[in-house]
Structures are given as structure tokens and as C-alpha cells.
Amino acid sequence: MKKNEVFTTVIQDMSEDGAGIGRTDGYTWFIKDTVIGDVVEASAMKMKKHYGFARLVRILTPSPHRVEAKCPVARQCGGCQLQAMSYEEQLAFKERKIRSHLSRLGGIPEEEIPMEPVMGMEDPWRYRNKAQFPFGRNKAGEIITGFYAGRTHAIIEHEDCFLGVEENKEILEIIKKFMNEYKIDPYDETAHRGLVRHALIRKGFVTGELMVCLVINGDRLPHSQELVNRLREMPGMTSVSISINKEKTNVIMGKEVVNLYGPGYITDWIGEVKYRISPLSFYQVNPVQTRKLYETALEFAGLEGGETVWDLYCGIGTISLFLAQKAGKVYGVEIVPQAIEDARENARLNGMENVEFFVGKAEEVLPEQYEKNHVRADVIVVDPPRKGCDAKCLETIVKMQPKRLVYVSCDSATLGRDVKYLRENGFEVERVRGCDMFPGGTHVETVVLMSHKSQAAQTA
């Protein structure tokens, strides 16, 4: 095959980033903007030894799973790689992905994976409680806001992403009008000039509280009281602040936040637990699915009341507090000190006294506590970042032999790798359940329950 040569193929699978995968004579092609089941004509672009990239020329026979993308800018944005696939098929794709990682990387024979149906959303739109919009100007010089086009920083004007809340559009209109009236410039990245960089908008889905934080390239926002007054007219507006970011950087938020109105945070609930969210705190972006995820983790933990539980990679303590409702004692470990401050504050807010938090790496805190202080665990919960658990952390878990290990994973490939090690060291996989936190995207969250064989034998 030569560059620009056109060929026909059937899309059989999908890559991690949502490109369709087709084959010609055993050679693999990645073709963007296609859906599993499409028969397409594609043109060769870049070729490596075992695989290549091709551009979609036309769809010869559309897949039965193909749907009209609801968003007018779905292709330019690239945020929702699966938007042209029916939601049912998206869920099936995610379930296959977990299954394949657990068998190929985890070493569990495919038919033995105790897979339960993936938890999808009833309405897979407007699920995000957080959005960050960049500001800039269009060719005509007008102030615009939207999102960055895939892989670049060109702003595509679009204020009503269907994943975000309906209030986003109204808030952005207020900010733009304010900027126009008071001649406040949007930030220009290339020249490192202008003031308004981004607007961060967050909403508490249960409380209805809204937060706006304007990220600026300066120390103060002129006429800020006027902006506050206008924003306050919106029902639910609880917190308005500015974040100072004068760096030449891709990082959106600055380190310093100056409060303009309200208590500096909004409050939200997941199930029976209350959380305080400030502009810089980490908080899961899909609260409806987060509740299902945490409830599954709690169910898998099988708590009866007196257990000692470790929650590793605990963030702001969301899972820790969820578990503390049913456990004797919960210990949380997290590397970011600010997150632990939030975790402690959240424990106080809920009047929970049976939780204790440690700042540090899970792979350092847990071994130290185990070896020096001989701490033990009935149940261990881990929720690591995409790279999975550190070897030293897994080693200590194996030594501690908890009855149950609940692994919450945002990347099923590293989950597979870690499950392999744990299975080789006395653990058995008992339940597996996916949870779709990002409809339209390719990521999937997985909860796995593992039990220790020796413990199972003891209780039997």
C-alpha cells in the first residue's frame, strides 16, 4: 500500500482513543470518525511496520450502531470520541474493553470473569458538574468562548456543550457582556497579554448551588462588583471568585484564589454524605454515576460495622466517608496535602469521627504503618490514578491479607496488570462491574472485588 492509496475495510474494533480499527491482509488500520460495523473507504496516511493511520473517505455501509451525533461540533472537538455510536453500543464497547484487559493482561480465562452488567446512565447528557471555558477573540475581533479544537489551542466557539449544565451558557453570556461593556480583554496566549483566561463553572447537582471562578492574567478584575451583581441574579449562585494565573502555562487554574462573593465554596451531596467543593478541590465530575460507583464499592466491601478499612488514593476522602458510614474505622491515604485538608474538613462537616487521614504516598505510608505500628485491615479499597498501584503498595496489601480488596480503577489496562499480580499472590476475583462515568468518551471505571483465599478458607 502506498500513501494516499484508497482501500475498503470493515471496522471491527475501536482503539483507546476512539479511532475505528480495520484490517487489510492482516495489517491494522486506525481510522478516525468511524464506528464498529461501518464498511468504509479510507485513504492511507501514515504507515508503520505493523499498523497505519488512514483518513475516512466515505462510508459505504453505515454500521447499525451508528447514530447522528447530537453535537454540531463533535468532530472538531474530539471530546466525545464515541458520539456517533448508540449509547447501548458504547456500553457494550466498554464492557468488552474491561473483559479483554482482565483476560489478556489479568490472566483470567474470559469465561471465568465474574462480570456484571456495566452501569450506564438513564440520560447520558448534561452529566458534568464542572466545565472550564477559555476566552479569546474570533477573526472579527469579537470576544468568544468555547473549547480548544483537538490538540491545538484554537478556540472553537461553542457555549452549550451537551455534557455540561444548561446554566453554563447563561453564565458565559453574562461574563462576555460584562467584558464588552467594561472593555476587559480576553487573554491572548501568544502575546501573553489580556486579562480573562478561563471561566471555571461548577454546580452541586443535589443542592443546585453554582460557583464561578474567573481565571485572570492579573491581580485584580476591574469592576468586579458589577460582575458579581449580575451573576447573583442567577438562581443558585453561591460563590464567585477569581483565580490569579500570570504564568505562561497550559495549566488552567492559578494557585491563588481571591473570593469575591459567598463562602468560597459550594456544597453537594453524594448519597447521605455532604462535601465542600472549593475552586481548586478535586471532585468527581459525574455525580450521578459517582454515587453508583461508591455504592458498588461499599457493597463489595461487605461491611457489617466493626471493620478496619484502608482507603488508599483517597483524594478528598469521598470514598472514605462513604465507607465510614458502615465501618468501625477508616484510614485514608493521599499524596496531595490540600486534598487531605478537604478530607478532614468533610469528615468534620458530616460529624464522622471514625476516620483518620494520612498525607503521603500509599506505597510509603501503608508499609510504614504496617511494619512499625502493625496496623491491620479487614478491607482495603484502592482507587489509584491511571498508572495503577505501585508494586510496593501491592506487596504490602498481599502481606496484610485483608479479607476483601476492592479495586476501583479508571484504567482497566493497569487494573489487569495489578489483578495478575494479586491473583498470583493469593487473591481471587469475585465480582467485576463497570461504571460509565463518561458517556460519549472511551474511558470506563471498573470496580473489582477480590478476596484472599486463605481468609476464605478460614471463614469456611
Longest Cα pair distance anywhere in the chain, in angstroms?
A: 74
Extract the runs of DSSP E, i.e. beta strands, from 80-148. Answer: 115-119, 130-137, 143-148
In the residue annotation, 410 being an active-site residue is answered as yes
HEC string of 304-360?
A: CCCCEEEEECCCCCHHHHHHHCCCCEEEEEECCHHHHHHHHHHHHHCCCCCEEEEEC
Tell me the closest approach of the beta carbon of residue 421 to ligand SAH, in angstroms.
17
Cβ neighbour number for residue 16 with a 10 Å cutoff: 11
Could you say which residues in the range 73-102 bind ligand SAH, by CB under 6 A? none
- Distance of alpha carbon 63 from alpha carbon 40, whole angstroms: 10
117: exposed, middle or buried (Cβ count in 10 Å: 0-12, 13-18, 19+): exposed
Could you say which residues in the range 265-294 bind ligand SAH, by CB under 6 A? 282, 284
- The identity of residue 274, as a single letter, is K
Residue 120 near residue 436, CB atoms below 8 Å: yes
Closest CA to 201 of 244, 245, 151, 241: 241
Query: Cell digits for 200?
Result: 471555571
Query: Is 435 a binder of ligand SAH (CB under 6 A)?
Result: no
Which residue has the CB atom at the shortest distance from ligand SAH?
Answer: 315
Three-class secondary structure of residue 27 per DSSP: strand
Query: Is 378 a binder of ligand SAH (CB under 6 A)?
Result: no
Binding residues for ligand SAH, rule CB under 6 A, total: 19
Binding map of ligand SAH across residues 349-368, x = CB under 6 A, - = no contact = ------------xxx-----
Q: Which is nearer to ligand SAH, 45 or 410 (CB)?
A: 410
Q: Which is nearer to ligand SAH, 66 or 203 (CB)?
A: 203
Query: Is 149 a binder of ligand SAH (CB under 6 A)?
Result: no
128: exposed, middle or buried (Cβ count in 10 Å: 0-12, 13-18, 19+): buried
Query: Is 333 a binder of ligand SAH (CB under 6 A)?
Result: yes
Catalytic pick from 80, 389, 410, 435?
410
Query: Is 429 a binder of ligand SAH (CB under 6 A)?
Result: no
Tell me the closest approach of the beta carbon of residue 428 to ligand SAH, in angstroms.
24
Q: Which is nearer to ligand SAH, 34 or 409 (CB)?
A: 409
Q: Which is nearer to ligand SAH, 34 or 296 (CB)?
A: 296
Tell me the closest approach of the beta carbon of residue 5 to ligand SAH, in angstroms.
45
Q: Which is nearer to ligand SAH, 40 or 339 (CB)?
A: 339
Binding map of ligand SAH across residues 379-408, x = CB under 6 A, - = no contact = ----xxx----x------------------
- Distance of alpha carbon 199 from alpha carbon 167, whole angstroms: 13
Three-class secondary structure of residue 63 per DSSP: coil
Tell me the closest approach of the beta carbon of residue 314 to ligand SAH, in angstroms.
5
Residue 268 near residue 275, CB atoms below 8 Å: yes
Piece of 10-18, 47-55, 82-90, 327-335 that binds ligand SAH (CB under 6 A): 327-335
Closest CA to 126 of 92, 86, 95, 168: 168
Q: Which of 319, 324, 444, 449 binds ligand SAH (CB under 6 A)?
A: 319
- The identity of residue 77, as a single letter, is C
Binding map of ligand SAH across residues 232-271, x = CB under 6 A, - = no contact = ----------------------------------------
Q: Which is nearer to ligand SAH, 236 or 385 (CB)?
A: 385
Which residue carries 495549566 as its cell?
Answer: 251
Q: Which of 1, 59, 69, 336 binds ligand SAH (CB under 6 A)?
A: 336
Tell me the closest approach of the beta carbon of residue 156 to ligand SAH, in angstroms.
29
* Residues involved in catalysis: 410
Contacts to ligand SAH by CB under 6 A: 282, 284, 313-315, 318-319, 333-336, 339, 361-363, 383-385, 390
